Structure 1
Amino acid sequence: MTPVFRFAPSPNGALHLGHAYSALLNQDMAREAGGRMLLRIEDIDPQRCRPEYESQIYDDLEWLGLDWERPARRQSDHIAAYRAALERLAERELVYPAFLSRAAVKARVAAAEAAGSIWPRDPDGTPHYPTEERMQNRLQAQARIADGERHLWRLDMDKACARFGQNLRWTETGSGRAETISADPQVWGDVVLWRWDAPSSYHLSVVVDDALQGVSHVVRGLDLYWATPVHRLLQTLLDLPEPLYHHHRLILDESGHKLSKSIGSTGLRSLRLAGLSPSDIRRRIGLATG
């Protein structure tokens, strides 16, 4: 089978050097493997994604010399596919509606920790969501939803892992050689799969898209390394194929922090206006220019 790679930015800000590294590395690896290169626009969050940023993504990537199969897949055009995946999980009673607000969860955690309890936290340091709603009365929950009460859909992590999460692993090539990595999705608690303010979630939409697009090699930054256990669990629950994973180094700023759209890290557009060429960008991020 022909290897399939993809670069999947979100149009919620300007691309920076970190995006350039990931996009070009995907293309370089695809060419070396004789594979296909796809572009996916992850515009699932209507609160943050903007058409002008999407247009700028295409422009910046073309300037860099990225060559992808047209048209790019836009997540906002495929909501039905994510909804169908959620419904499959619901049929197995692996998801539940979660009604607690962020403020309510924060208060619950603070009270527990003040009383001396140790509240579990995920790899990002975020407290796990309380688990009592896993056992809520289904009819009462449906009535609350019918009344328009805001809610999320969360994965019942314990139930999902008990049924399908034993001995989860993935193949990782980020070190330069293939390694088998054990996956423990329970460190994330009951992750969100669907939001009231945005269709789907990153975790659900990305595994559905990778499967539907036939992606065989997921090449992305180390900041997403610990999301892989959740993705492997969802792939198992939904009977989706397992891609190979390659988590690459991050491009850091002068102070050693990861580049970020939210803090205004140097964008590709600014570097272009400053007179840098695509070859200059490749040299700056440590990729061969040949």
Structure 2
Amino acid sequence: MSGKDKYYNKAKQEGYRARSAYKLKQLDETAGLLGEGNTVIDLGAAPGGWLQVAAERVGPDGTVVGVDRQRIDPLEDPEATVEYVRGDMTDEDTKAEIRERVGAGDDTGGPADLVVSDMAPNVTGEYSVDHARSVHLARQAFEVALELLDSGGDFAAKVFDGQDLDDFEADVEAEFEYAHRVRPDATRDSSSEVYLVGKGRLTAPVREGDTRDVEIVDTGRDGDGIAKIEGFTVFVSGVEEGETVTVRIDDVKPRYGFAQPIE
């Protein structure tokens, strides 16, 4: 193949701007990231291969925003609404422009269903340095995702495997229902890159293991008591409406949680 692999040639044949388009396709098939009508923010989007895939999969009712310091040539005949933001993803003005492009004001919460990053550092050849830089970039994307994701939204970022990945994965898992690593088939055999995926952004005011004093304000259809913590719904077993009890949070989902009363 004259030094080019099958995904490079496939991208040329199928009109994708980069072979990495197949990585996003495979990430989506593995982790269920892209849905019809979704709002997707692609950090470090140039030259636009991931934008092409995202536009195809979110369809005409979806919106895709590509963010990069470099200019991105507009897609031809995109399936979705595609917006382009030129700037540093960590800059407040850039984040404000992203919100504007998707019709979300500063006080409306996260506008995105998915934030993705395929960014990689300039490789020095010294693996420990390259790994650390890749984690730093991925952490920057993660911080942006925490600001821009809606409750229940997803995150995926490329990182080089190495000693700092466990800590980063733990930090992602703390903010999502769960986190896991995915290595798409389109990744070159010689590459150490993996994608860290966070599923189900948690915006609740509580986390698993927390204790709270709550008032049971209603009863759910399955008989559990319902409490509200800063507007967040918590189902509490074995209690009656009108009680005030101390509970331990056992499980947290994007839009509700479960708890048990404690003595």
TM-score range, shorter chain: 0.3 to 0.5
Q: TM-score, structure 2 length as denominator?
A: 0.32
Higher RCO (CA 8 Å, separation ≥ 6 residues) = 1
Q: TM-score, structure 1 length as denominator?
A: 0.30
More helix by share: 1
